[in-house]
Structure 1
C-alpha cells in the first residue's frame, strides 16, 4: 500500500503515457502483483494503491473520506485470513517434467546478437522474457 504519483497510468486498461509510468507498470507485472484499488483517491486520480501478490488475499477496499486537511482519501481494506479460491492466471511449472534440452535448443536457435542489437538493457530484458515465456509453452 502506498501513495504512488503516477497520474498518467490508467489502471483499468493498464496503459500509461510516460516512460517512468511504463517502467512502474513493468515492475508491477514482473513481480506478479495485482493492484486492487478501484476508485480515485485524490481529485479523480488513483494515486493511493493497494497491491497484492495473491488474488483474493486483499478484499473490501473502501474509500473512507479524507483525514484532516489531506487531499487524499483514506483507503480501508481487509487482509483475508485465507485467500478465496479464485482461478488464478498464474500457473505453476512442473520443473521435474521439463525438457531442458528442448528448452535450451529453442532459445539457442535465436541469433541473440542480432535480436538484441541496438536495444538498451530494459528493452533487451523484455525481448528475452518474451522469448523465454514462448519457449515455456
Structure 2
C-alpha cells in the first residue's frame, strides 16, 4: 500500500500515457499483483494504491482523511475467498485422436480452399479444426491451486523455470 504517484494510469483499461507509468503497470502484471483501490485520491486520479497478490485477500477499501492527509483503510481477510475457476483446458488424455484424424482426413482440402486467399483459407481450416476438436477432445475444468498455471506447465518444468 502506498502513494505511487502515477496520475496518467487508467486502471479500468490498464493503460498509461508515460513510459515510467507503463513500466510500473508491467511490473504489476509481471508479479501477478491486483490493484484493489476503487476511489480516486486527487482530481480523479488514483495515486494511493493497495496491491495484493490474491483476489479476495483485501476487502472494504475506503478513502479516509481530509485534504492533504488522505489514507486508505482496508481489511485483510483471514482466508482469501475461494474463487471458483471457470478456466477449462483440453483433456488430451481422453481425446479420440483417431476420430480427429479421420474427420480432418475426410475433408477435400483442395476444393475447400480453392480460389481463397491466405486469410480466408485459414478461417476455413480453423473452422474445421475447431469442429473436430470439439467432437474429439473433451474439455475439463481446472481446479485447485494450479488454476492460474497453464495446463502444459508441469512440476518438472516449473522447477526448471524457478
* Fold shared, TM-score > 0.5 on shorter chain: yes
8 A contact 1:36–1:50 mirrored in 2: yes
| Shift in Å, 1:95 | 1.3
Residue of structure 2 in register with 1:95 after alignment: 154
Q: 1:14 to 1:97 in 2, by over 3 A?
A: same
| Shift in Å, 1:11 | 0.8
* Structure 1 stretches lacking a partner, 5+ long: 99-137
TM-score, structure 1 normalization? 0.62
* Structure 2 stretches lacking a partner, 5+ long: 88-146, 158-162
SS at match of 1:60: strand
Alignment partner of 1:20 is 2:20: yes
After the TM superposition, which of the residue ranges 84-93 and 25-34 deviates more from structure 2? 84-93
TM-score, structure 2 normalization? 0.53
SS at match of 1:7: coil
Residue of structure 2 in register with 1:76 after alignment: 73
CA RMSD of aligned residues (A): 2.1
8 A contact 1:37–1:50 mirrored in 2: yes
8 A contact 1:10–1:16 mirrored in 2: yes
SS at match of 1:65: strand
8 A contact 1:43–1:71 mirrored in 2: no
| Shift in Å, 1:74 | 2.0
Give the whole-Å Cα distance in 1 for the aligned partners of 2:156 and 2:4: 41
Equivalent residue pairs, number = 95
Q: 1:15 to 1:72 in 2, by over 3 A?
A: farther
Q: 1:72 to 1:45 in 2, by over 3 A?
A: farther
Question: Which structure has the larger Rg?
Answer: 2
The list of structure 1 runs, each at least 4 consecutive aligned residues, that deviate by more than 4 angstroms after superposition, is: none
SS at match of 2:23: helix
SS at match of 1:20: helix
8 A contact 1:42–1:73 mirrored in 2: no
Residue of structure 2 in register with 1:53 after alignment: 53
